[in-house]
């Protein structure tokens, strides 16, 4: 460990770098020891002990259990600590007044409850080859992306993609140069985010799920064919679809369907609602149920999860209806189209839709990739369609519910 006092950055930088060079050139202490899962606390690190792991004597608790070499544990911890160091650096502005603050990894590992065994804590700390300081890099070195964590790279990639598609390029952005911060082109960024989406957020929407769709107009709609996806010539710009592209927007309950459809400017709206029941499973991307590993310091997935949370918040935030909303929708529309036509599941299945949190009440909404033409051709996965009364606060707005209507009867109204 290089010991330095907190002196002005310029005066101390050379000394720190020289000390780090010596530290990094010195081979880490390699201990021919083995550790078991019971001696470490974080759940994410316990995943290292797979079924194929050998049984043997743990050098720390002295019991015979499933064990791994200490080096394997230390290798994973070093990767985690380097990500942590990069996240810390994001909050440090390097200038003439900056100071070099040491990071004592042993203290961090103790604070993050790596283990209750003092000897194991010492052995892991002695084996770490990560740099001990984080305020070491100039702005020029930061600009090449080397000091960005996974979370920061993905966030920078999305910001670059968002600005480019909203303000510069709409149709040939896939061939653009890469982001100067994160080295992602838009094409590579979409591939990268798809990789994380595919492994964490693809789910099956089961047969029998009830979905609700509302429509606001000057008069009530009593024909179910009038509540399906709109014809292309009437499809307006929406959060996930541009003008002219027909998709099926719906919600998990009637109240959310109504809130997503009505606005404060609507005067005494006449709201029609239909219930659609799935007759088969659909493969969707669920942006409403992100995995929760944020609190596990040692999980490498937490950076991707934190980015996905930022991404979902970004594309589902309320957007003011001021005539310019079609510009704000562009990034999420492009991402949706990429998911629809390019992304495939591990089983090579196509994506049928996306679930996302309502910008009004955070309940679940869906955009399913079924157009008006799909309804006309009866190429839709719905059955048992009913016309419903709205929620209690809007009773009286609709005529009485119709009886169950078959798909054939519904298509007669298209």
Contacts of 141 (CB under 8 A, 6+ apart): 147
Residues 220-260 pLDDT 10s: 777 778 888 999 999 988 889 999 999 999 999 988 998 88
Pairing of strands 55-57, 64-69: antiparallel
Residues 337-351 pLDDT 10s: 999 999 999 889 999
| Mean pLDDT for the stretch of residues 175-184 | 58
CA 365, 371, 376: angle at the middle one, nearest 5? 130
User: According to the model, what pLDDT value does residue 264 have?
Assistant: 54
Q: What is the mean pLDDT of the chain?
A: 76
The C-alpha atoms of residue 194 and residue 95 are separated, in whole angstroms, by 37
Residues 60-90 pLDDT 10s: 999 999 999 999 999 889 888 877 877 766 5
Residues 120-148 pLDDT 10s: 999 998 887 654 444 444 445 445 555 67
| Mean pLDDT for the stretch of residues 159-175 | 79
DSSP structural state of residue 27: P
User: According to the model, what pLDDT value does residue 353 have?
Assistant: 96
pTM attached to this predicted model: 0.70
Q: Is 195 left (phi over 0), alpha (psi -120 to 50) or beta?
A: alpha
The C-alpha atoms of residue 322 and residue 57 are separated, in whole angstroms, by 68
Name the least confident of 27-41, 257-271, 399-413.
Answer: 399-413
The C-alpha atoms of residue 184 and residue 194 are separated, in whole angstroms, by 14
The C-alpha atoms of residue 247 and residue 353 are separated, in whole angstroms, by 9
Assigned token pair, 348: 């090579």
User: According to the model, what pLDDT value does residue 54 have?
Assistant: 86
pLDDT class of 36 with cuts at 50, 70, 90: very high
Beta bridge partners of 250: 366
E-strand ranges in 300-395 read 353-357, 364-368, 382-388
User: According to the model, what pLDDT value does residue 138 have?
Assistant: 47
Residues 274-286 pLDDT 10s: 889 999 999 999 9
């Amino acid at each position: 460990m290089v010991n330095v006092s907190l002196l002005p950055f310029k005066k101390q930088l050379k000394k720190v770098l020289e000390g780090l060079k010596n530290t990094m050139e010195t081979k880490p202490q390699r201990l021919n020891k083995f550790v078991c899962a019971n001696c470490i606390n974080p759940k994410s690190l316990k995943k290292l002990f797979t079924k194929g792991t050998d049984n043997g004597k743990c050098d720390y608790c002295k019991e015979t259990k499933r064990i791994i070499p200490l080096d394997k544990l230390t290798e994973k911890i070093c990767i985690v600590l380097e990500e942590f160091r990069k996240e810390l650096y994001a909050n440090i502005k390097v200038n003439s007044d900056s100071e070099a603050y040491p990071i004592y990894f042993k203290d961090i590992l103790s604070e993050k409850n790596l283990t209750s065994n003092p000897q194991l804590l010492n052995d892991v700390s002695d084996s770490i080859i990560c740099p001990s300081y984080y305020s070491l890099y100039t702005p020029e070195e930061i600009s090449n992306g080397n000091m960005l964590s996974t979370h920061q790279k993905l966030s920078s990639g999305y910001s670059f993609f968002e600005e480019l598609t909203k303000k510069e390029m709409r149709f040939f952005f896939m061939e653009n140069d890469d982001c100067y911060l994160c080295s992602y082109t838009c094409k590579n960024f979409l591939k990268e985010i798809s990789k994380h989406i595919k492994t964490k957020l693809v789910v099956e929407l089961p047969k029998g799920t009830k979905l609700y769709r509302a429509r606001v107009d000057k008069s009530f709609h009593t024909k179910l064919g009038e509540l399906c996806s709109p014809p292309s010539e009437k499809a307006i710009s929406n959060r996930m679809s541009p003008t002219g592209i027909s998709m099926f927007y719906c919600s998990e309950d009637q109240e959310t369907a109504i809130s997503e459809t009505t606005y404060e400017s609507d005067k005494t709206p006449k709201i029609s609602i239909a219930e659609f029941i799935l007759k088969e499973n659909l493969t969707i991307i669920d942006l409403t149920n992100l995995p929760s590993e944020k609190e596990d310091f040692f999980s490498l997935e937490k950076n991707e999860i934190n980015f996905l949370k930022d991404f979902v918040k970004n594309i589902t935030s309320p957007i003011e209806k001021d005539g310019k909303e079609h510009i704000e929708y562009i990034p999420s529309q492009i991402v949706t189209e990429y998911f629809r036509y390019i992304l495939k599941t591990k089983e090579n299945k196509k994506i049928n839709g996306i679930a996302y949190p309502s910008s009004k009440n955070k309940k679940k909404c869906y955009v399913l990739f079924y157009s008006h033409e799909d309804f006309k051709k009866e190429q839709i996965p719905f059955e048992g369609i009913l016309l419903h009364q709205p929620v209690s606060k809007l009773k009286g707005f609709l005529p009485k519910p119709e009886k169950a209507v078959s798909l054939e009867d519904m298509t007669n109204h298209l």
